[in-house]
Amino acid sequence: MTLRVLGVDPGLTRCGIGVVDVERNRRATMVAVCVVGTSPEQSLDQRLLVIATAIDEWLDLYKPDVLAVERVFSQLNVSTVMGVAQASGVVIAAAARRGIPVALHTPSEVKAAVTGSGTSNKEAVTKLITKILRLDAPPRPADAADALALAVTHAWRAGSGAAVATTGPGSSALTPAQRAWAEAEAKARRAR
């Protein structure tokens, strides 16, 4: 069974959108990625409409099983937080209208899932998501890579519908970050 996740790195100026298919063995494949941009000169309602139209088109075209959105976190720049929250709301509502489940993940969760460290920088996330998805070139700008990383993170955290083999046939296809994540999940299950 393949899980299709649409990841969104929300923002008013740049909103990253990425679709990833993840197999039971955690092998992830990019389906599509883009960054929707709006101009600060546009009114807020028009900017949100551009994002809403794009997410509607992507949800209808790619029909994801789940939507993964970056969780809004506190920053010193209140206007940035407000823009991210507004864009997130538009995206979440679009999924809700279609009955698509929504998951929220913090930037630290995404960094930990993809790189093995919750304190990694954007360059590390981009480098590893390029490797995980077996891409010829890094997704650009960083918002595109972040959207793909959100999608992969959700699929891995959700278990892609199956337990992941960390040993045995096929385990060599996992990246070090995937192996570390799978081992941490297995350890957590044993501790319950």
Active-site positions read: 9, 70, 143
Which tokens sit at 89? 């709301």
Which tokens sit at 73? 């976190």
State the Cα–Cα distance between residues 170 and 191, nearest whole angstrom. 26
Half-sphere exposure of residue 122: CA atoms within 13 angstroms, side-chain side = 10
Which tokens sit at 62? 């790619």
Return the number of other C-beta atoms located less than 10 Å from residue 175's C-beta. 16
State the Cα–Cα distance between residues 7 and 186, nearest whole angstrom. 25
